[in-house]
Structure 1
């Protein structure tokens, strides 16, 4: 099945510091490509995979599940850790959910986590009805394109959400909520002041549930949900680089003092 224009995965071989970026539900690598390109420009090794069922047509998403999406980023993480000394995981929306699960499950193999508007809940009424509704209705309206900046590049994704896949998302966020206390790595959480897709309480829940002691929260005052394509995109890129640099330096100093 041909890919949508802009949905192609991206990778860059750079330094021994790797960064894995995870895109969101019904979206594609296009929403994170500027972030990935900037990190590559700054010298990092970068991996931005296309999640299964995404980037083609919504019918393809209908036959995938959260295990498929997670397996794709888990595989990319393992490949990055094979060739990089330190790896950071980043994500937007459901990509943030996947990044947090990677951090919870892989521990010291991940040096830090940077997420933008992570999704960690599902609307309760809709979630209660979804197991029944998905047997009666195939799709609902899409959730891509929540961007404030006029004239910004539109987000490449699906204009329909398969309810089977939405139910898989519901299962994923419920699972990851329970795993948040296992996240111990330094965390940079960037959230939009106005987000029409993910409620602000999701970020508060993440911040209140992780076990990380090094936690930074940044409010993106001039962007909606897809902040990586919005007014605050440059700030996201700069803050991510600063976060990675700050986390790496203490580790580097410790290695030097150990004489290894």
Structure 2
């Protein structure tokens, strides 16, 4: 099945510090591409994989599970750790939740975590019915495109399969169980006007992680897909500053950009 334009995975080799970026549910690397390019231009090694079932048509997502998405990220993390001396993980929405689980599972292999509007819990009471509804209703209208900027477009599915939503709900439970094992430095950026993920998600992350080094920033002018919105530059610069503070050797790689 052909990929949607912009859904291609992205990898750019730079210096000894790497960043693994994770896109969200029904989204694609396109939503993270400017973020990835900003970090790569600063000399970092950057990878943005395409999660299984994404970037083609929503029907392809129906036959995947959260374990497939997570396995793809785990493979990319392994490649980055072989290529780089220090590795950071970052993500948007569900990608932020996946990044947190990677941090919990891989411990010292990950130097820090950056999450933007992380999705780690259900905001819809009807989600408890998903085990039944997924057999009755094939799909629902999509959730991509929550952006304040009128000229910005997010590539993704206009529908999502309830089978995949049911698996996402199972992933949330896994992430919640893993949060106390996250002890790496954390940078959390969130949009107060997010129409997809409630503030309770970020509050849950901050309440349960064991990290001591925690920074929270607000994306006041953006909606859910803040990486393509008015506060994108804030996200890019805060991420780069965060990485450089924790990995001083990243500063020496500026000339590679």
Counting matched residue pairs gives: 251
> What is the deviation of 1:249?
3.3
Q: For each residue in 1:79-137, what CA deviation from the matched residue of structure 2 results, as whole angstroms up to 9, or x when unmatched?
A: 00001000000000000011000000000000000010000111352221111111110
* Counterpart-to-counterpart distance in 2, 1:29 and 1:104: 23
1:94-243 equivalent positions in 2, closer than 5 A = 94-152=94-152, 154-243=153-242
Normalization by structure 1: what TM-score? 0.95
For residue 51 of structure 1, give the secondary structure of its aligned residue in structure 2. Answer: coil
Q: Detail structure 1 runs of 4+ shifted over 4 Å in the superposition.
A: none
CA RMSD in angstroms comes to: 1.3
Where does structure 2 lack aligned partners over 5 or more consecutive residues? Answer: 252-257
Following the alignment from structure 2 to structure 1, what is the Cα–Cα distance between the partners of residues 52 and 124? Answer: 26
2:147–2:225 CA contact under 8 A, matched in 1: yes
Equivalent position SS for 2:218: strand
Deviations 1:30-84 (A, max 9, x none): 0000000111000000000000000000010000000000000000000000010
**Structure 2 vs 1, CA of residues 166 and 103 (structure 1 numbering), >3 Å: closer, same or farther?**
same
TM-score normalised by structure 2 residue count:
0.96
Q: Gapped runs of 5+ residues in structure 1?
A: 253-260
SS at 1:32 equivalent: helix
Q: Quick one: higher RCO (CA 8 Å, sep 6+), 1 or 2?
A: 2
State the distance in 2 between where 1:90 and 1:16 align: 17
Give yes or no for contact 2:74–2:102 (8 Å, CA) kept in 1.
Answer: yes
Residue 251 of structure 1: CA displacement?
Answer: 11
C-alpha contact (below 8 Å) 2:191/2:221 kept by paired residues? yes
Structure 1 residues 49-128: aligned runs within 5 Å: 49-128=49-128
Query: Which whole-Å CA distance do the structure 2 matches of 1:243 and 1:39 have between them?
Result: 11
For 2:56 and 2:250, locate their aligned partners in 1 and report how far apart those are by CA, in whole Å: 41
Match of 1:256 in 2: none
